[in-house]
Amino acid sequence: MELNWIRTFIVAAEKNNFRKAAEHLYISQPTVTVHIKQLEKEVGAILFVRDGRKVCLTEAGRKYLKHAKRLLSLHEEGIEDLHSFQQGFTSRLTIGISPIIADTILPYVLKKFVETHPTIEINVRIIESIDIEQAVEGEEVDIGLSCLPKREMDLFCHLLYDDELVLVVPHDGFDSETGNPLEEEDMFQHHTLLTHNHPGYWDELCQQIKVIYPFTKMMKVSQTHITKRFIIEGLGMSILPKSTVRRELLEGRFLEVDCRSISLPGSKTYALIKYEHSIQKEFLSFLSKYRI
| Element containing residue 55 per DSSP (H, E) | strand 54-57
Residue 174, pLDDT above cutoff 70: no
Structural domains in the chain, CATH included, are 3-73 (1.10.10.10), 88-162+268-287 (3.40.190.10), 165-265 (3.40.190.290)
> Are the C-beta atoms of 201 and 208 separated by less than 8 Å?
no
- Residue 90: its pLDDT value, please? 54
53, with CB counted inside 10 A (0-12, 13-18, 19+), is exposed
- The more confident residue out of 92 and 133 is 133
Q: Is 239 helix (H, G, I), strand (E, B) or coil?
A: strand
Tens digits of residue pLDDT in 241-255 = 998 999 899 998 999
- Residue 292: its pLDDT value, please? 58
- Residue 94: its pLDDT value, please? 92
- If you average pLDDT over residues 109-138, what whole number do you get? 90
- If you average pLDDT over residues 54-64, what whole number do you get? 91
- Residue 274: its pLDDT value, please? 92
Q: Look over the chain and give the mean of its residue pLDDT values, rounded to a whole number.
A: 88
| Beta strands 237-241; 120-126: pairing state | unpaired
- Residue 179: its pLDDT value, please? 56
Q: Is 109 helix (H, G, I), strand (E, B) or coil?
A: helix
Residues of the chain with pLDDT > 90, as a percent, come to: 59
Neighbouring residues of 269: CB distance < 8 A, sequence distance ≥ 6: 101, 145, 146, 147, 159, 160, 161, 162, 163, 292
Residue 50, pLDDT above cutoff 90: no
126 confidence band (pLDDT: 50, 70, 90): very high
Exposure string (b/e) for 173-188, b if CB count within 10 Å is 16 or more?
A: eeeeeeeeeeebeebb
The Cβ of residue 44 has, within 10 Å, a number of other Cβ atoms equal to: 7
The CA distance from 11 to 22, in Å, is 9
- Residue 181: its pLDDT value, please? 74
- Residue 82: its pLDDT value, please? 67
- If you average pLDDT over residues 85-90, what whole number do you get? 54
- Residue 154: its pLDDT value, please? 85
Tens digits of residue pLDDT in 194-219 = 999 998 899 999 999 999 999 999 99
Residue 191, pLDDT above cutoff 70: yes
The CA distance from 154 to 52, in Å, is 49
- Residue 89: its pLDDT value, please? 47
- If you average pLDDT over residues 130-147, what whole number do you get? 93
- If you average pLDDT over residues 150-157, what whole number do you get? 86
- If you average pLDDT over residues 141-152, what whole number do you get? 90
> Are the C-beta atoms of 266 and 162 separated by less than 8 Å?
yes
* Measured CA distances, 146 to 23, 187, 229, 239 (Å): 39, 30, 23, 18
The CA distance from 193 to 206, in Å, is 10
The Cβ of residue 125 has, within 10 Å, a number of other Cβ atoms equal to: 13
| Beta strands 120-126; 91-97: pairing state | parallel
- Residue 212: its pLDDT value, please? 95
